[in-house]
Chain A
Amino acid sequence: DARVTQTPRHKVTEMGQEVTMRCQPILGHNTVFWYRQTMMQGLELLAYFRNRAPLDDSGMPKDRFSAEMPDATLATLKIQPSEPRDSAVYFCASGLTGGKAGELFFGEGSRLTVL
């Protein structure tokens, strides 16, 4: 059963620490999205990759966040240094272009708490 895998599922850290979240997209998918979900802001797009190339990271605070796809099976989202306002659930989703565009498969999320 193909699924998007995210690690860690839960992370508690202190302000100023580096946090790295990882995502394994579904094999064969060529688009990867990082979203952040909070009660106040809802679902926010942080970064979007197509064929491993970053196409849109306008939603991401550039001074502390970075997103990469070192290979087709791994996407990473890094926060350095972390701040309490970064506390949220971070979702990775993958999909395909063409006829299946918009049909995204989400991971279960990484719940981040920054103290």
Chain B
Amino acid sequence: AQSVTQLDSQVPVFEEAPVELRCNYSSSVSVYLFWYVQYPNQGLQLLLKYLSGSTLVKGINGFEAEFNKSQTSFHLRKPSVHISDTAEYFCAVSDRSNYQLIWGAGTKLIIKP
């Protein structure tokens, strides 16, 4: 069975500063990895995904994530955040035969002006 741990429930950061949101997973099989974003009062939308190939994945809105198999991590980064990035970010995994996602608890990104 897989599980996902998002180590921080909230991350406050100043506008234009860099940010890293951490995600660790456990699985006995190869997995697909995802980051989703939920803006206030909206549904979730896909930010980026890792299926195979290059371990550095680029997504929308300037975000990127790096898959580290040895550390079983998939941390999300952005070099300079904007007030519009205020949202909750969810990490998720699925194995390669099951189409269901296992979700982390979410990390709220709080941008300080």
- Which residue numbers of A lie inside 8 Å of B, CB to CB? 4, 31, 33, 42-43, 45, 48, 50, 56, 91, 93, 95, 97, 99, 101-109
Contacts and interface: CB of A to CB of B under 8 A. Distances in A.
A50 B99 contact: yes
A112 to B, nearest CB: 14
Nearest to B97: A101
Given A31-B99, A42-B103, A101 B94 contact: yes
B92 A102 contact: yes
Contacts of B43: 4, 91, 93, 106-109
A102 B44 contact: no
Contact of A102 (B90, B101, B106): B101
Contacts of A56: 100
B49 A103 contact: yes
Nearest to A50: B99
Interface residues of B, number: 20
A10 B27 CA distance: 38
B67 interface: no
Given A43-B106, A103-B34, A107-B43, 15 more contacts: A42-B103, A48-B100, A91-B43, A93-B43, A93-B44, A97-B99, A101-B94, A102-B101, A103-B46, A103-B49, A104-B36, A104-B46, A105-B45, A108-B41, A109-B43
A105 to B, nearest CB: 8
Contacts of B13: none
A72 to B, nearest CB: 17
B63 interface: no
A108 B39 CA distance: 10
